[in-house]
Structure 1
Amino acid sequence: MLHVLHDVPLWVTALVLIVGAALYSMGLMLVTRMIYGVDRLSLNNEVAGFKFAVIGVFYAVLLAFVVIAVWEEFRQTEASVRNEAKAAIDLHRVTFALPAEAGTEIRKHLIAYTKDVREHEWPTMAVGEPSDIVVKDLDRLSKSVFNVNPASWQELALYQDALRLLAVMTDNRNERLDSANGSMPGILWFTLIVGGLITLGYPAFFGSTNLLAQVLMTASLAVLVAIALLLGLAFDYPFTGEVQISSYPFDQALRQMPSLWPPP
C-alpha cells in the first residue's frame, strides 16, 4: 500500500479504485441477469432487501470507523510534527543561557538536525524509513546536551529544561516515524476489502425491469465505497503521496533560530 501511494499519482489510484469497483459490481449484476433473468431475480427483492440493509449498515459503520480512526491518527501525527518543531525552537533559545561554548555546540547540531529532518527525513518517511543522516544528527545533538556542565543553580535549572526539550523532540520524532508506516493492521484492510466485495456484489441478486436505473444505483454504490477506501488509504500514510503532512513547521523553526541573542 505504501509503495503504491508513493509511486502512483493519487488520481490514478482513485481512478483504478473507482473504475475497478464499478466494473466489478455492474459486471456481476449483468452476468446474473443474463444467467437467471430479471423475472427470477426479482423474486429475491423483498427478502434480499432486508439482508442487504443489514450488510450495508454493518459495512458502512466499519468503513466510517476506519476513516475516522485514520483521520484522528493523521491529526495526532500533525500535532507531533508541530510539537517537535516547537521544542527545537525552545531548546535553541535555552542554549543562549547555558555556558557559551556548550550552547554554541548545541545550536550547531540543533540547526543541522532541523535542516536534515526537512531535507532528508521527509523523503525517506515517504517510503516508511528513517533517515540515517538525521539519526546521526540526533546522536550528536544528544551528546552535546549531555556534555553540558552547569556552573550555577540558574544554569542547572535551564539545563534540566534543555534535557526535557530534547526528550520532547525525540519522543515526537518517534511518533511521526511510527506513523509513517501506517496505523491500520493488515487484517483490517483485508476485512474492508472482503466486506467491500460482498457489499458491491450483493446488488447482483436483485432484479429490476429498469436496467438503466439499476446500473446507475449499482455504480453509485461502487463509487461511494471506492472513495471511502481511498480516504482511508490516503490518511493511513501521513507522509506518503499527495495527501501528506507538510514539513512547514520545521521551515518556520529554522527562521526562528538566530545565531546571536538577542536577534538583530
Structure 2
Amino acid sequence: MLLLRALNSAPIWLVILGVVAALELYSVGLMLLSRKKLGPDRLKPNNEVAGFKFSVIGVLYAVLLAFVVIAVWQNYNNTEIAVRNEAKAVGDLTQLSYALPEPEGSAIRTSLADYANEVRQSEWATMATGLPSKTTGDALAHLTQAIFDLHADQIRDLALFQQSLHLLAAIQDNRNERLDSANGSVPPILWFVLIAGAIITLGYPAFFGTTNLVAQILMTATLAALVALTLLLALLLDFPFTGQVSVSSGAFDEALQQMPPHLKGHPPPETENSLP
C-alpha cells in the first residue's frame, strides 16, 4: 500500500509514463524474446489453442478490472458527496447558531470556524498520507462540548438543540466517511490479483507467432497500454485525497465564506480532552 500511495503522490505524467513504459517493455520484450528463441514457425501452431485460452483469460481479467474501476469511481464520488454534506452541515449549523441563546451561539460559531479552518489547512494535508489530524479532532471535540453546553429551557430552544445535535451527527458521520476513504477502498490482496493478472495477460502474446512482426508488436503494445492506463485509473481514484487527482476542499472554503470575517482565520482552541 505504501508503494501504491507513493505512485499516487508522484507527478501524474511521470507515473503514466513510467507504468505504461514498464508494461510495454515487459509485454513487447517478452514477445520479441520468444520469437528470437523459438522462431515464428514454432509459435504458429499455438495460435489456435492459445488464442482460445487467451480470450478466456482476457475476459476474466477485463471483468475484474472493470469491477475495480467502477468500485473506486463510485467510492470517489461518494467521498465528494460526503465532503459536500459535511461542509453543508457546518454552514447550516452556523446559520442555526444565530437563533441560539448567547453566549452559547457565539461559542458554537467560533468552534465551527475553528473546525472548518483545521479541516482545510491541517486535515487535508494529513489525509494525503491516510491519517487524521489531531488538531481537527480537538476542534470537533470543542464544537461538541459547545453544543452540549446549550440549555434547552423552552420548547423552542429544545427544537433548536435537537437540530444542532442532528447537524453535529452529520458532521461527525461525514468526517468519518472522509477519513475512511483516505486509505483507499481496494484491499491489498485485490491489488495483488490485479497486478498478477496484468503480468499473466500481457505475457500471453509471447505464445503467439505471426509472419507480420510489425502488426504483432503493435497489437501487443496496444494491449499493454490499455491495461496500464486502466490500472492507473483505478490507482488514481482509489486514494481520493492523494496526488493530483484528488477531492477538492472547495466546499469548506464556501462554508467559511458564510462565517463572520473575524472568525475565518480563528486559531484552534486549546482542549484537554479530544475526540479523534
Same structural fold, with TM-score higher than 0.5 when normalized by the shorter chain: yes
> In the TM superposition, what whole-angstrom CA distance separates every residue of 1:49-78 from its partner, at most 9, and x where no partner exists?
111111111111110000000000000000
Partner of 1:3: 6
Partner of 1:60: 62
Partner of 1:71: 73
Partner Cα separation in structure 1 for residue 55 and residue 167 of structure 2: 53
Answering whether residue 99 of structure 2 is matched by residue 97 of structure 1, we say yes
Partner of 2:274: none
8 A Cα contact 1:109 1:137, kept in partner = yes
Partner of 2:157: 155
8 A Cα contact 1:85 1:253, kept in partner = yes
Partner of 1:22: 24
What stretches of structure 2 of length at least 5 have no aligned partner? 263-276
Aligned-pair CA distance for 1:259? 6.8
SS for the counterpart of 1:151 is: coil
Partner of 1:108: 110
Q: How does 1:171-186 map onto structure 2 within 5 Å?
A: 171-186=173-188
8 A Cα contact 1:3 1:127, kept in partner = no
Equivalent in 134, 137, 159 of residue 136 of structure 2: 134
Partner Cα separation in structure 2 for residue 30 and residue 143 of structure 1: 68
> In the TM superposition, what whole-angstrom CA distance separates every residue of 1:133-183 from its partner, at most 9, and x where no partner exists?
101100111111111112311011011000110000000000000000001
Tell me the TM-score normalised to structure 2 length.
Answer: 0.92
Aligned-pair CA distance for 1:236? 0.2
Q: How does 1:25-40 map onto structure 2 within 5 Å?
A: 25-40=27-42
Partner Cα separation in structure 2 for residue 146 and residue 234 of structure 1: 41
> Identity of counterpart residues, as a percentage?
56
SS for the counterpart of 1:97 is: coil
Partner of 2:15: 13
User: CA RMSD, aligned part only?
Assistant: 1.1
Partner Cα separation in structure 1 for residue 81 and residue 94 of structure 2: 20
Aligned-pair CA distance for 1:132? 1.2
Answering whether residue 230 of structure 2 is matched by residue 228 of structure 1, we say yes
Aligned-pair CA distance for 1:258? 3.4
Q: Return the letter of the residue paired with 2:128.
A: A
8 A Cα contact 1:74 1:238, kept in partner = yes
Q: Return the letter of the residue paired with 1:62.
A: L
Aligned-pair CA distance for 1:25? 0.2
Partner of 1:51: 53
Q: How does 1:240-255 map onto structure 2 within 5 Å?
A: 240-255=242-257
Partner Cα separation in structure 1 for residue 59 and residue 69 of structure 2: 15
Aligned-pair CA distance for 1:4? 2.7
Partner Cα separation in structure 2 for residue 235 and residue 195 of structure 1: 20
Partner Cα separation in structure 2 for residue 71 and residue 56 of structure 1: 22
Q: How does 1:140-219 map onto structure 2 within 5 Å?
A: 140-219=142-221
Partner Cα separation in structure 2 for residue 34 and residue 52 of structure 1: 21
Q: 1:259 to 1:242 in 2, by over 3 A?
A: closer
What stretches of structure 1 of length at least 5 have no aligned partner? none
Partner Cα separation in structure 1 for residue 171 and residue 89 of structure 2: 6
Tell me the TM-score normalised to structure 1 length.
Answer: 0.96
SS for the counterpart of 1:100 is: coil
8 A Cα contact 1:67 1:232, kept in partner = yes
> In the TM superposition, what whole-angstrom CA distance separates every residue of 1:111-140 from its partner, at most 9, and x where no partner exists?
110011011111110111111110110011
SS for the counterpart of 1:127 is: coil
